[in-house]
Amino acid sequence: MVLSVACIIPTHGRPSDLRRALDSVASQIPLPNEIIVVDDMNDEPTKQVVDSFQGVGPTVRLVRPGDDTVRRSAGTSRNLGASVATSEFLAFLDDDDYWAPNYLSAVAGVLESSEVPLVFAALSVVNNGNEVGRRLPDLGLKDSDVVSINPGVTGSNITIAADLFRQLGGYDEDLPVYNDLDFLLRCLETGAAYGVAPTALAYQVTSGAEHLSSRSARRAAGIAKYRDKYRHRLQAADSRRLRRDIAVANRFHDQRPHLKAAYLVITLINSDLLDILRFLKRVSTKRTADYG
């Protein structure tokens, strides 16, 4: 790997998940130049996991926010990791996700051949050990294409030039969810060229109650915060999609039945035919993660 790459992993009290993520990074050929784990909980089990990887490859640097740092979101940890990285490129990986062994080599190949400052890899969505979807952003997307639709960019399948990251000011730390979409939108607003790496695969794990893609009042409020940030540029279709997403998030498992029913109605009203067909397919296969 000619380019220098830092892998930045924000972690939040999930040592077993972190071990899996670090295992996947340690399996890369070649290895990244830097591995930076940002632990926002000052967690001893996390430190033990990091210590166990010392001597395997590049030093795994454990970074912890100072006592005066307010943890707002995963973006806070990503930004902190980026601030101490010295490599030319930053590759992000969430602690509960992991990479295929060829991930970095495939991404580096696109960076070198296309001479772009930004690469998106393919994303495999995994739930309870099963792949339930695979996504790869299209080439040629404009910022107007992604105001309310994430084409498949997360904190685990994006590699970006450190200079561009700092020019953008990093992730919006005030957004608890949709910060990936917000970051993508701001990247595209700059007009920066990007590449896609279809042979590089990041696995996004959506199982577990603490995952931010799980439906909850917190997630609904976070989507509403994103909507309010971009209200000035939302088209009618964008507003409808975000209303749908907020309603979906509000249909969590212990929501009161009459509210759950009301949010289902709001969801369907704000869904197009393709959305509804996807919902019916999920119902038929008992995979109702979105609307069920």
What is the H or E stretch that residue 203 is in?
strand 195-205
Alpha-helical (H) ranges within 190-256 are: 217-229, 236-249
| C-alpha distances out from residue 115 to 107, 109, 250, 264, Å | 12, 10, 43, 46
Distance CA 82, CA 155 (A): 13
* 5-205: CATH class: alpha beta
The answer to whether 87 and 34 have CB atoms below 8 angstroms apart is yes
Residue 142 confidence (pLDDT)? 96
Q: Which residues are CB-neighbours of 141 under 8 A, at least 6 positions away?
A: 151, 188
Partners of residue 119 on adjacent β-strands: 159, 195
Write b or e for each residue in 4-24: b if 16 or more Cβ atoms lie within 10 A of its Cβ, otherwise e.
ebbbbbbbbebbebbbbbbeb
CA 6/CA 85 separation, integer angstroms: 6
- Asked if 182 and 104 count as a contact pair (C-beta separation under 8 A), the reply is no
Q: CA separation (Å) from 143 to 186, 195, 222?
A: 7, 15, 21
In which residue are the tokens 């399996």 written?
A: 27
Residues of the chain with CATH 3.90.550.10: 5-205
Provide the residue-wise pLDDT of the chain in tens; the chain has 292 residues. Answer: 578 999 999 999 999 999 999 999 999 999 999 999 999 988 899 999 999 999 877 889 999 987 655 666 789 999 999 999 999 999 999 999 999 999 999 999 999 999 999 999 999 999 888 898 899 999 999 999 999 999 999 999 999 999 999 999 999 999 999 999 999 999 999 999 999 999 999 999 987 645 545 788 999 999 999 999 999 999 999 999 999 999 999 988 888 888 888 878 888 888 887 777 766 665 554 444 433 3
| Residues 141, 117: Cα–Cα separation, whole Å | 15
Give the other-Cβ count within 10 Å of 274's Cβ.
8
Strand partners of residue 8: 36, 92
Contact 62, 47 (CB under 8 A): yes
pLDDT value for 291: 31
Q: What is the pLDDT of residue 70?
A: 60
**Per-residue pLDDT at 194:** 98
Cβ 87 vs Cβ 5: under 8 Å: yes
